[in-house]
């Protein structure tokens, strides 16, 4: 199991359109056979801040995710909007 945690921050005025696209990105991600979970939450204490928790079969499945066509599309859309991105990865232990 390979776990990915991401925090993405956008300007509050861009949050609504970003959130809609993020929901589609999560749905697309879950169509991949190596993606076991993809959850998104909105930070109630910080407008425009989103937390993603992703679980993949292994690191290769995460690489497949990063190279998917829909991921390239999401990067193109979100790149200009994301003000800060923090990514953490690791092997699941439980």
Q: What's the domain count of the chain? A: 1
Query: Could you give the 3-state DSSP secondary structure of residue 34?
Result: coil
| pTM of the predicted model as reported, rounded to 2 decimal places | 0.90
User: Residue 16 is part of which domain span?
Assistant: 2-89
For residue 88, the cross-strand partners are 5
Indicate if the pLDDT at residue 92 is higher than 90: no
The tokens of 4 are what?
């990915």
Q: For the residues of 4-31, what is the DSSP string, one character each?
A: EEEEEEE-GGGHHHHHHHHHHHHHHHTT
Asked if residue 49 is part of any domain, the answer here is yes
Asked if residue 73 is part of any domain, the answer here is yes
Please report the pLDDT score of residue 30 as a whole number: 97
pLDDT of 26-85, one tens digit each? 999 999 999 999 999 999 999 999 999 999 999 999 999 999 999 999 999 999 999 999
In whole angstroms, how far apart are CA 38 and each of 42, 50, 57? 14, 13, 12
CATH number of the domain enclosing 46: 3.30.70.100
């Amino acid at each position: 199991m390979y776990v990915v945690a991401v925090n993405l921050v956008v300007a509050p005025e861009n949050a609504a359109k970003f959130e809609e696209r993020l929901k589609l990105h999560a749905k697309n991600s879950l169509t991949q056979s190596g993606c076991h979970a993809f959850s998104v939450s909105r930070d109630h204490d910080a407008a425009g801040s989103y937390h993603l928790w992703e679980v993949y079969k292994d690191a290769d499945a995460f690489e497949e995710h990063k190279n998917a066509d829909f991921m390239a599309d999401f990067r193109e859309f979100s790149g200009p909007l994301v003000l800060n991105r923090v990514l953490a990865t690791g092997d699941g232990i439980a």
